[in-house]
Amino acid sequence: MDQRSKLLRRLIIQGPEGGGRGHIGSSLLLVEILRVLYDCILAYRPQEPKWTERDRLILSKGHGCLALHAILADRGFFSEQELQTFCKPESRPGEHPERNKAPSVEASTGALGHGLPMGVGMAIAAKIRDQRHRVVVVVGDGENNEGPVWEAALSASKHRLSNLLVIADYNKLQSYGFLVRYSTWSP
């Protein structure tokens, strides 16, 4: 683990000190996914968070937002000191991502299974408007049991959304334990 990953993890661990709560485990698992996205894939401008050509990131796994807030602070969307106010009423970084509250948060998430449907809607809208940005949705593998996720995936396929990227944090865990395999079928 390099120094930057250690720094981001330290910011995640310190986050709950502000508001007394937060989902540390799910956030720690997202560090490398978000680092690759923000370092190598996403087009964005920290000083201009509503730049029209920016790529849109939706953290459907909203309870992992300590990682998102840490990377946003690291990339200059707001100061690392602001992370110390995590979950306080006046704070921008909250327990789940909130659109129009924290900079660069494209969708309010937390209720699992809703991020991908929102992302599909954004990707369809971008195609209709002939916009070139991408929509990236990070989902947890446990939320993939939700019906709206599957309906959104089928819709994305139907509309051939080449501007949509879905990344699953495949850690084989959900809130009450390990994922259960319902089928032994394989292609």
**Residue 99 falls inside a structural domain:** yes
Domain count, the chain: 1
**Residue 31 falls inside a structural domain:** yes
Percent of the chain with pLDDT over 70: 86
Percent of the chain with pLDDT over 90: 50
pLDDT of amino acid 51? 95
Smallest CA-to-CA distance from 85 within 161, 167, 15, 7 is with: 15
Structural domain of 120: 3-178
**Residue 185 falls inside a structural domain:** no
**Residue 64 falls inside a structural domain:** yes
The CATH number of the domain holding residue 9 is 3.40.50.970
Q: Is the pLDDT of residue 11 over 70?
A: yes
Q: Is the pLDDT of residue 58 over 80?
A: yes
**Residue 136 falls inside a structural domain:** yes
**Residue 186 falls inside a structural domain:** no
Least confident of 61-65, 98-102, 145-149, 180-184: 180-184
List for the chain the helix, strand, coil content (%; round to 5).
45, 10, 45
**Residue 162 falls inside a structural domain:** yes
Contacts of 54 (CB under 8 A, 6+ apart): 42, 43, 44, 45, 104, 133
**Residue 138 falls inside a structural domain:** yes
